[in-house]
Amino acid sequence: MEKNPYYSLEVEEALIGSLFLEDDLMKDCTIRPEHLYVHRLRIIFTLMLGLAEKGKPIDMVSVAEEAGTKQIGDIGGGSYLAALAGSVPSTANFHYYQETVKQYYQKRKTIEIAHRIKQRAEHEDIEAILRDGIRNLQQVEDHLTVENGGEIKQSLIDLYHECEKDLGDIAGIPSGFRSLDQLTGGVQESDLIVVGARPSVGKTAFALQLALEAAKEDVAIVFSLEMAKKQLLKRALSGIGAVSSVKLRNPYRLFQEHDWSDLHQAMGTLSKLDLHIFDQGGIDVNFIRSNVRKLRRKYGEEKRFLVVIDYLQLIMGDPRLKGNRQAEISEVSQALKGMAKELNVVVIALSQLSRAVESREDKRPMLSDLRDSGQIEQDSDVIAFLYRDDYYDQKAEQKDRIEIIIAKQRNGPIGTVHLAFHKEFGRFRDLVG
C-alpha cells in the first residue's frame, strides 16, 4: 500500500491509543487538535482535552460519555474507541508518535503555503509574496519547535558546566582592543550591539576590524547594504597589511615592490579567515536570518558567530509600514534582536545619527541622536558611539584619535575608550601596549 505523503493514519491512531492506555501522558502532550489530519481523531482528541481540563479520567467510557449521542457517531462509535484503546501494546513510543504527527502537520502547512505563493504570484507583487511566504514558513517552524515546558534543570546543569570552564580574561568574542574588552568583556552571544556615528567618522572601518578579529577563531558575517564586496575587501587588505588605501585605488601605477609583498601577505591572511560578505542591496531581516542560519548549519553549534550589518536604516522593513519610517525601523530593530537571541549570535548593527548632534557645542553623540526610532535604544544590549575631535576641527590637538563611547551596556558599565585611528589604512589600535 502506497504511503500517504500528508499524514499517517496508523501513527495518529497510535497517539490516541497511547493516551487511552496512560492518561497521564496528556500532561506531556504538546499536540493540538489541528495537528491531527483525520477528522474523527481530531474530535476524539478535543474531547480528551476537555476531560483533562475538568480533571476527569481519560478512557473510552469517559470519552463516549463526553461525546454524547450527538457526536458518538462522528467518532466511529464505541467499537472504534475500543479498537483505538487496543491499537498499541505500550506507551513506550508515545513521543515518537507525537513528533511524527507534528512533522506531517508541518509538511501539510508547507504545501499549503507553497500553493498560496503560487496562486498569488500570478497577480501580486513578488517581493511582498516572498516576504509573507518566508514569514509564514518561519512561523510553522517556530510553532513546532520541541517544547520543554520552560524547565530550568538542564539550563542549570549547562550553566554549572560553563562555570567550570576557564574563559580567560575575555568571556565573549574579543574585539582586538584590550581597553575595550576590559570594559565590555568582549562582545557577547545573543546581544544586539548598535554602533552609531556621523558619516565618515569610521564606523564601517571599526566594524570591519571587529569582524576580521572575530574571524580568526570564530565566524564573521558581514551584510554590506551600501558598499560592494570588493570595496570592503580592499579596506580589509589595507588594514591587515598596512597597505595605503590611496595606492590601492591604482596599484599598477602606485605600488612599489614592498607594497606588492605586503598585499600578497595580507591576501594570504585574509583567505584563511572564516569571513563571509554579502553585498546585496534591498535586503530584509528574513534574508539575513536565512543566510546566518545556513552558515550556522555549515559550521555547527560549537562556533561563535559575529554578524555585522552596515547599516540598519538600509534594511527593508515590512512593506505594509511604508510611510511610517519610525514603525518600520522599530520592526527591523526588534527582528534583529530576535534573530540574535534565536540563533545565539552577536549582531552588530551600524546606525546613522540624526543631524541634531551638529547643532550642539559638544558634538559627542547621545542616545537621543539615534536616528528614526527610540525602539533601537530599547532593543539594544550595547550602544556604542564613535567620536573624533579632528572630524570637526582640522586643527584639533587630538589628531588620529577616536573615542568609543559605550552609552548603554545592559550587563555592564558605561564609559569611554580612546583608540588610535590610522586613516591611511583604516585601522584602529590601543593607545597603550
Cα(34)–Cα(102) distance, integer angstroms: 10
Q: Which residues contact 244 (CB under 8 A, 6 or more apart)?
A: 238, 254, 259, 424, 425
Nearest residue to 84 (alpha-carbon basis) of 122, 58, 66: 58
Q: Quick count: other Cβ atoms within 10 Å of Cβ 118? A: 10
Cα(347)–Cα(17) distance, integer angstroms: 47
Q: Which residues contact 261 (CB under 8 A, 6 or more apart)?
A: none
Q: Quick count: other Cβ atoms within 10 Å of Cβ 3? A: 6
Q: Quick count: other Cβ atoms within 10 Å of Cβ 70? A: 7
Which residue is it, cell 558599565? 413
- Residue 76 falls in which region: left (phi positive, over 0), alpha (psi -120 to 50) or beta: left
Q: Is 226 annotated in the active site?
A: yes
| CB contact at 8 A, 270 and 240 | yes
Cα(59)–Cα(72) distance, integer angstroms: 14
Q: Biggest alpha carbon distance in the chain?
A: 94
- Catalytic option among 99, 226, 342, 403: 226
Using omega within 30 degrees of 0 as the cis cutoff, is the peptide bond preceding 311 cis? yes
Q: What are phi and psi of 416, to 5 degrees?
A: -125, 135
> What does DSSP assign to residue 1?
-
Give the amino acid at 244. Answer: S
Q: In a 3-state reduction of DSSP, which class is residue 8?
A: coil
Which residue is it, cell 509600514? 321
Distance of CA 357 to the CA centre of its chain: 31
Active-site residue numbers? 226
